Structure 1
Amino acid sequence: MSNSQQRAIPIVPVAPRFRPDERTQQAMLAALDDEYKARAFYTVVIEKFGEVRPFSNIVQAEDRHARRWQTLFTQYGLPIPADPYAGQVEAPGTLATACEMAIASEVANVQMYDEFLEFVTEPDLRDTFSQLRDVSQNRHKPAFEHCARRLAGGGRGSAHRGHR
Protein backbone atom coordinates (compact mmCIF):
# COMPACT_ATOMS: atom_id res chain seq x y z
CA MET A 1 0.00 0.00 0.00
CA SER A 2 1.40 3.40 -0.93
CA ASN A 3 1.87 6.17 1.62
CA SER A 4 -0.97 8.23 0.11
CA GLN A 5 -3.33 5.26 0.33
CA GLN A 6 -2.45 4.76 3.99
CA ARG A 7 -3.41 8.35 4.83
CA ALA A 8 -6.66 8.31 2.87
CA ILE A 9 -9.77 8.00 4.95
CA PRO A 10 -12.06 5.54 3.23
CA ILE A 11 -15.74 6.33 3.04
CA VAL A 12 -17.72 3.37 1.83
CA PRO A 13 -21.05 4.29 0.28
CA VAL A 14 -23.90 2.47 1.97
CA ALA A 15 -27.65 2.58 1.60
CA PRO A 16 -28.84 5.67 3.45
CA ARG A 17 -30.71 4.91 6.65
CA PHE A 18 -31.79 8.49 7.24
CA ARG A 19 -31.20 11.97 5.97
CA PRO A 20 -29.57 14.56 8.17
CA ASP A 21 -31.79 17.39 9.38
CA GLU A 22 -32.21 20.44 7.15
CA ARG A 23 -29.61 22.53 8.98
CA THR A 24 -27.01 19.77 8.62
CA GLN A 25 -27.86 19.35 4.94
CA GLN A 26 -27.31 23.10 4.48
CA ALA A 27 -23.94 22.77 6.22
CA MET A 28 -22.99 19.95 3.86
CA LEU A 29 -24.02 22.09 0.87
CA ALA A 30 -22.01 25.05 2.15
CA ALA A 31 -18.95 22.85 2.72
CA LEU A 32 -19.09 21.35 -0.78
CA ASP A 33 -19.71 24.80 -2.26
CA ASP A 34 -16.64 26.11 -0.44
CA GLU A 35 -14.50 23.27 -1.82
CA TYR A 36 -15.78 23.96 -5.34
CA LYS A 37 -15.00 27.68 -4.96
CA ALA A 38 -11.48 27.06 -3.62
CA ARG A 39 -10.71 24.54 -6.36
CA ALA A 40 -11.88 26.96 -9.07
CA PHE A 41 -9.88 29.86 -7.61
CA TYR A 42 -6.67 27.84 -7.22
CA THR A 43 -7.13 26.48 -10.75
CA VAL A 44 -7.32 29.96 -12.32
CA VAL A 45 -4.32 31.10 -10.30
CA ILE A 46 -2.34 28.18 -11.75
CA GLU A 47 -3.63 28.96 -15.25
CA LYS A 48 -2.49 32.58 -14.93
CA PHE A 49 0.81 32.19 -13.03
CA GLY A 50 1.87 28.62 -13.83
CA GLU A 51 2.40 25.59 -11.60
CA VAL A 52 3.29 27.66 -8.53
CA ARG A 53 3.22 26.26 -5.04
CA PRO A 54 1.34 26.04 -2.86
CA PHE A 55 -1.51 26.44 -5.37
CA SER A 56 -0.39 23.48 -7.48
CA ASN A 57 -0.44 21.20 -4.44
CA ILE A 58 -3.49 22.53 -2.65
CA VAL A 59 -5.75 22.50 -5.72
CA GLN A 60 -5.36 18.71 -5.67
CA ALA A 61 -6.35 18.61 -2.01
CA GLU A 62 -9.44 20.73 -2.70
CA ASP A 63 -10.43 18.29 -5.43
CA ARG A 64 -10.09 15.38 -2.99
CA HIS A 65 -12.16 17.29 -0.43
CA ALA A 66 -14.92 17.93 -2.98
CA ARG A 67 -14.96 14.23 -3.91
CA ARG A 68 -15.15 13.33 -0.23
CA TRP A 69 -18.24 15.52 0.19
CA GLN A 70 -19.76 14.05 -2.96
CA THR A 71 -19.31 10.58 -1.48
CA LEU A 72 -21.03 11.68 1.73
CA PHE A 73 -23.90 13.18 -0.26
CA THR A 74 -24.31 9.81 -1.99
CA GLN A 75 -24.06 7.96 1.32
CA TYR A 76 -26.92 10.05 2.72
CA GLY A 77 -29.02 9.78 -0.43
CA LEU A 78 -28.72 13.49 -1.22
CA PRO A 79 -28.34 14.94 -4.72
CA ILE A 80 -24.86 16.22 -5.52
CA PRO A 81 -24.99 19.85 -6.63
CA ALA A 82 -23.10 20.91 -9.74
CA ASP A 83 -19.98 23.02 -9.44
CA PRO A 84 -21.11 26.61 -10.18
CA TYR A 85 -17.57 28.03 -10.10
CA ALA A 86 -15.69 26.06 -12.77
CA GLY A 87 -14.75 28.54 -15.48
CA GLN A 88 -16.53 31.38 -13.66
CA VAL A 89 -13.74 32.68 -11.40
CA GLU A 90 -11.02 35.18 -12.30
CA ALA A 91 -7.48 35.25 -10.96
CA PRO A 92 -6.27 38.43 -9.27
CA GLY A 93 -3.65 40.67 -10.85
CA THR A 94 -0.71 39.39 -8.83
CA LEU A 95 0.38 36.17 -7.23
CA ALA A 96 0.87 38.01 -3.95
CA THR A 97 -2.78 39.06 -4.00
CA ALA A 98 -3.75 35.46 -4.77
CA CYS A 99 -1.83 34.30 -1.69
CA GLU A 100 -3.55 36.91 0.50
CA MET A 101 -6.96 35.95 -0.88
CA ALA A 102 -6.21 32.28 -0.23
CA ILE A 103 -5.23 33.04 3.38
CA ALA A 104 -8.54 34.85 3.92
CA SER A 105 -10.40 31.95 2.32
CA GLU A 106 -8.74 29.38 4.58
CA VAL A 107 -9.47 31.49 7.69
CA ALA A 108 -13.14 31.72 6.66
CA ASN A 109 -13.13 27.97 6.00
CA VAL A 110 -11.95 27.23 9.55
CA GLN A 111 -14.61 29.54 11.00
CA MET A 112 -17.31 27.89 8.87
CA TYR A 113 -16.35 24.40 10.01
CA ASP A 114 -16.18 25.51 13.65
CA GLU A 115 -19.72 26.86 13.34
CA PHE A 116 -20.98 23.61 11.80
CA LEU A 117 -19.37 21.55 14.55
CA GLU A 118 -21.60 23.33 17.06
CA PHE A 119 -24.71 21.55 15.77
CA VAL A 120 -23.84 18.63 13.47
CA THR A 121 -24.28 15.32 15.31
CA GLU A 122 -23.54 12.64 12.68
CA PRO A 123 -20.11 11.15 13.53
CA ASP A 124 -18.89 10.81 9.92
CA LEU A 125 -19.87 14.39 9.12
CA ARG A 126 -18.31 15.69 12.34
CA ASP A 127 -15.10 13.80 11.49
CA THR A 128 -15.07 15.31 8.00
CA PHE A 129 -15.74 18.85 9.25
CA SER A 130 -13.02 18.46 11.90
CA GLN A 131 -10.44 16.97 9.56
CA LEU A 132 -10.99 19.52 6.80
CA ARG A 133 -10.93 22.36 9.33
CA ASP A 134 -7.62 21.07 10.66
CA VAL A 135 -6.16 20.80 7.14
CA SER A 136 -7.16 24.40 6.42
CA GLN A 137 -5.79 25.67 9.73
CA ASN A 138 -2.60 23.61 9.99
CA ARG A 139 -1.55 23.04 6.37
CA HIS A 140 -3.23 25.26 3.79
CA LYS A 141 -3.24 28.56 5.70
CA PRO A 142 0.45 28.27 6.74
CA ALA A 143 1.42 27.35 3.16
CA PHE A 144 -0.30 30.44 1.79
CA GLU A 145 1.20 32.60 4.56
CA HIS A 146 4.63 31.32 3.54
CA CYS A 147 3.79 32.13 -0.08
CA ALA A 148 2.80 35.68 0.88
CA ARG A 149 6.02 36.18 2.88
CA ARG A 150 8.16 34.87 -0.01
CA LEU A 151 6.49 37.19 -2.47
CA ALA A 152 6.74 40.18 -0.16
CA GLY A 153 10.48 39.58 -0.12
CA GLY A 154 11.10 39.19 -3.82
CA GLY A 155 8.09 39.40 -6.11
CA ARG A 156 6.59 36.80 -8.42
CA GLY A 157 9.89 35.10 -9.21
CA SER A 158 10.34 33.98 -5.61
CA ALA A 159 7.46 31.52 -5.72
CA HIS A 160 8.43 27.90 -6.23
CA ARG A 161 7.27 26.30 -9.43
CA GLY A 162 6.43 22.63 -9.52
CA HIS A 163 8.39 20.16 -7.43
CA ARG A 164 11.84 20.68 -5.99
Structure 2
Amino acid sequence: MKKTMLFILVLTLVSAMSLSFADIENYGATGALENDTHTLDEMLIYAIQDEYTALAEYELIMSEYGTIRPFSNIAKAETNHISWLEPLFEKYDIDLPVNESDQIVVLPNSLTEAYQTGVDAEVFNISMYESFLKEDLPADVKTVFEALKNASENHLNAFNNQVDRSSRFRRNQN
Protein backbone atom coordinates (compact mmCIF):
# COMPACT_ATOMS: atom_id res chain seq x y z
CA MET A 1 0.00 0.00 0.00
CA LYS A 2 2.81 2.44 0.88
CA LYS A 3 4.57 1.70 -2.41
CA THR A 4 1.36 2.26 -4.34
CA MET A 5 0.77 5.57 -2.58
CA LEU A 6 4.37 6.65 -3.25
CA PHE A 7 4.02 5.71 -6.91
CA ILE A 8 0.79 7.70 -7.18
CA LEU A 9 2.48 10.65 -5.47
CA VAL A 10 5.39 10.49 -7.91
CA LEU A 11 3.09 10.28 -10.92
CA THR A 12 1.10 13.22 -9.60
CA LEU A 13 4.28 15.20 -9.07
CA VAL A 14 5.56 14.32 -12.52
CA SER A 15 2.36 15.34 -14.25
CA ALA A 16 1.15 18.28 -12.17
CA MET A 17 4.15 19.87 -10.57
CA SER A 18 6.39 22.47 -12.08
CA LEU A 19 9.92 21.35 -11.34
CA SER A 20 12.84 23.73 -11.32
CA PHE A 21 14.48 21.51 -13.91
CA ALA A 22 13.89 22.37 -17.54
CA ASP A 23 11.88 19.80 -19.50
CA ILE A 24 14.30 17.17 -20.69
CA GLU A 25 12.83 13.93 -21.91
CA ASN A 26 14.52 10.70 -21.05
CA TYR A 27 17.05 12.22 -18.65
CA GLY A 28 17.80 11.27 -15.05
CA ALA A 29 15.02 10.16 -12.72
CA THR A 30 12.30 11.69 -14.88
CA GLY A 31 13.41 9.57 -17.83
CA ALA A 32 13.88 6.48 -15.68
CA LEU A 33 10.36 6.70 -14.27
CA GLU A 34 8.84 6.67 -17.76
CA ASN A 35 9.38 2.89 -18.03
CA ASP A 36 8.93 -0.05 -15.69
CA THR A 37 12.03 -2.01 -16.70
CA HIS A 38 15.52 -1.00 -17.76
CA THR A 39 18.77 -2.52 -18.87
CA LEU A 40 21.79 -2.19 -16.63
CA ASP A 41 23.23 0.39 -19.04
CA GLU A 42 20.07 2.48 -18.85
CA MET A 43 19.90 2.31 -15.07
CA LEU A 44 23.48 3.44 -14.63
CA ILE A 45 23.09 6.23 -17.17
CA TYR A 46 19.85 7.51 -15.60
CA ALA A 47 21.41 7.28 -12.14
CA ILE A 48 24.51 9.30 -12.97
CA GLN A 49 22.48 11.84 -14.96
CA ASP A 50 20.27 12.35 -11.93
CA GLU A 51 23.27 12.74 -9.61
CA TYR A 52 24.87 15.19 -12.09
CA THR A 53 21.64 17.19 -12.20
CA ALA A 54 21.23 17.32 -8.44
CA LEU A 55 24.81 18.55 -8.03
CA ALA A 56 24.38 21.19 -10.74
CA GLU A 57 21.07 22.38 -9.24
CA TYR A 58 22.48 22.68 -5.73
CA GLU A 59 25.60 24.46 -7.00
CA LEU A 60 23.44 26.90 -8.97
CA ILE A 61 21.32 27.56 -5.89
CA MET A 62 24.44 28.21 -3.78
CA SER A 63 25.84 30.57 -6.43
CA GLU A 64 22.72 32.72 -6.00
CA TYR A 65 21.82 32.29 -2.31
CA GLY A 66 25.19 31.53 -0.75
CA THR A 67 26.96 28.41 0.40
CA ILE A 68 24.37 27.39 2.95
CA ARG A 69 23.19 24.16 4.48
CA PRO A 70 21.79 21.80 3.56
CA PHE A 71 22.84 22.58 -0.02
CA SER A 72 26.55 22.72 0.79
CA ASN A 73 26.57 19.36 2.57
CA ILE A 74 24.34 17.66 0.04
CA ALA A 75 26.36 19.00 -2.92
CA LYS A 76 29.44 17.32 -1.41
CA ALA A 77 27.43 14.12 -1.05
CA GLU A 78 26.32 14.31 -4.69
CA THR A 79 29.98 14.47 -5.71
CA ASN A 80 30.54 11.28 -3.70
CA HIS A 81 27.52 9.65 -5.32
CA ILE A 82 28.95 10.32 -8.75
CA SER A 83 32.25 8.80 -7.67
CA TRP A 84 30.42 5.66 -6.49
CA LEU A 85 28.77 5.25 -9.88
CA GLU A 86 31.77 5.95 -12.13
CA PRO A 87 33.64 2.67 -11.42
CA LEU A 88 30.50 0.72 -12.37
CA PHE A 89 30.60 2.25 -15.84
CA GLU A 90 34.17 1.06 -16.26
CA LYS A 91 33.52 -2.39 -14.81
CA TYR A 92 30.49 -3.02 -17.04
CA ASP A 93 32.08 -1.37 -20.10
CA ILE A 94 29.47 1.35 -20.40
CA ASP A 95 30.38 4.75 -21.84
CA LEU A 96 30.14 7.45 -19.18
CA PRO A 97 27.58 9.98 -20.45
CA VAL A 98 28.53 13.59 -20.98
CA ASN A 99 27.42 15.73 -18.07
CA GLU A 100 24.86 18.09 -19.61
CA SER A 101 23.17 19.02 -16.36
CA ASP A 102 24.32 22.66 -16.43
CA GLN A 103 22.11 23.09 -19.49
CA ILE A 104 18.95 21.82 -17.86
CA VAL A 105 18.86 23.24 -14.33
CA VAL A 106 16.89 26.38 -13.59
CA LEU A 107 17.40 28.74 -10.67
CA PRO A 108 14.44 28.78 -8.26
CA ASN A 109 12.90 32.22 -7.61
CA SER A 110 13.48 32.14 -3.87
CA LEU A 111 15.29 30.21 -1.18
CA THR A 112 11.99 28.67 -0.12
CA GLU A 113 11.47 27.42 -3.69
CA ALA A 114 15.05 26.15 -3.66
CA TYR A 115 14.31 24.00 -0.61
CA GLN A 116 11.21 22.66 -2.35
CA THR A 117 13.34 21.93 -5.42
CA GLY A 118 15.53 19.79 -3.18
CA VAL A 119 12.48 17.95 -1.85
CA ASP A 120 11.17 17.32 -5.37
CA ALA A 121 14.53 16.17 -6.70
CA GLU A 122 15.06 13.73 -3.84
CA VAL A 123 11.53 12.29 -4.15
CA PHE A 124 12.16 11.52 -7.81
CA ASN A 125 15.62 10.16 -7.03
CA ILE A 126 14.30 7.81 -4.34
CA SER A 127 11.53 6.59 -6.64
CA MET A 128 14.05 5.93 -9.39
CA TYR A 129 16.27 3.84 -7.12
CA GLU A 130 13.28 1.95 -5.71
CA SER A 131 12.31 1.08 -9.27
CA PHE A 132 15.85 -0.03 -10.12
CA LEU A 133 16.12 -2.17 -7.00
CA LYS A 134 13.19 -4.28 -8.23
CA GLU A 135 15.37 -5.42 -11.15
CA ASP A 136 17.79 -8.32 -11.20
CA LEU A 137 21.05 -6.48 -10.47
CA PRO A 138 24.67 -7.46 -9.98
CA ALA A 139 25.51 -7.35 -6.26
CA ASP A 140 27.82 -4.34 -6.55
CA VAL A 141 25.26 -2.30 -8.48
CA LYS A 142 22.54 -3.23 -5.98
CA THR A 143 24.78 -2.14 -3.10
CA VAL A 144 25.48 1.23 -4.71
CA PHE A 145 21.81 1.82 -5.60
CA GLU A 146 20.75 0.98 -2.03
CA ALA A 147 23.35 3.37 -0.63
CA LEU A 148 22.24 6.12 -3.02
CA LYS A 149 18.57 5.60 -2.13
CA ASN A 150 19.37 5.75 1.58
CA ALA A 151 21.42 8.92 1.10
CA SER A 152 18.55 10.50 -0.83
CA GLU A 153 16.17 9.66 2.01
CA ASN A 154 18.48 11.57 4.36
CA HIS A 155 18.66 14.48 1.91
CA LEU A 156 14.87 14.49 1.63
CA ASN A 157 14.58 14.78 5.42
CA ALA A 158 17.02 17.71 5.44
CA PHE A 159 15.13 19.55 2.71
CA ASN A 160 11.74 18.83 4.31
CA ASN A 161 13.05 20.32 7.56
CA GLN A 162 14.05 23.48 5.69
CA VAL A 163 10.66 23.72 3.97
CA ASP A 164 8.99 23.39 7.39
CA ARG A 165 11.25 26.09 8.89
CA SER A 166 10.56 28.42 5.97
CA SER A 167 6.82 27.89 6.36
CA ARG A 168 6.95 28.61 10.10
CA PHE A 169 9.06 31.72 9.49
CA ARG A 170 6.60 33.05 6.88
CA ARG A 171 3.66 32.40 9.22
CA ASN A 172 5.41 34.26 12.04
CA GLN A 173 6.09 37.22 9.73
CA ASN A 174 2.37 37.67 9.02
TM score, norm. by length of structure 1: 0.76
Matched, 1:28 2:22: no
Residue 127 (structure 2) aligns with: 111
Counterpart AA for 2:160:
E
Q: Deviations over 1:55-92 (max 9, x none)?
A: 01100100111121112111222211111013652211
Q: 1:65 aligns with which of 64, 81, 85?
A: 81
1:12 corresponds to: none
Unpaired stretches in structure 2, ≥5 consecutive residues: 1-37
Instruction: Give the Cα–Cα distance (whole angstroms) in 2 for the partners of residues 70 and 82 of structure 1.
Output: 12
For 2:166, the equivalent position in structure 1 comes to: 151
Deviation at 1:120, TM superposition (A): 3.3
| Higher-helix-fraction structure | 2
* SS of aligned partner of 1:86: helix
Cα deviation digits, residues 5-52 of structure 1 (max 9, x gap): xxxxxxxxxxxxxxxxx7111011000010001001000000000011
**Percent of residue pairs bearing the same amino acid type:** 30
**Structure 1 position 49 matched with structure 2 position 51:** no
TM-score relative to the length of structure 2: 0.72
Give the structure with higher Rg (CA).
1
Distance 2:68 2:165 in 1: 12
| Structure 1 residues not aligned, in runs of 5+ | 1-21, 156-164
* Partner in structure 2 of residue 132 of structure 1: 148
Number of residues of Structure 1 aligned to a counterpart in Structure 2: 133
Whole-angstrom distance in 2 between the partners of 1:88 and 1:133:
23
Equivalent AA in structure 2 for residue 89 of structure 1: V
Q: Which portions of structure 1, spanning 4 or more consecutive aligned residues, are displaced by more than 2 angstroms?
A: 86-90
Q: CA–CA distance in 1 between the matches of 2:101 and 2:74?
A: 17
Whether the 8 Å contact between 1:99 and 1:148 is mirrored in structure 2 is yes
Q: CA RMSD in A?
A: 1.4
Counterpart in the other structure of 1:38: 54
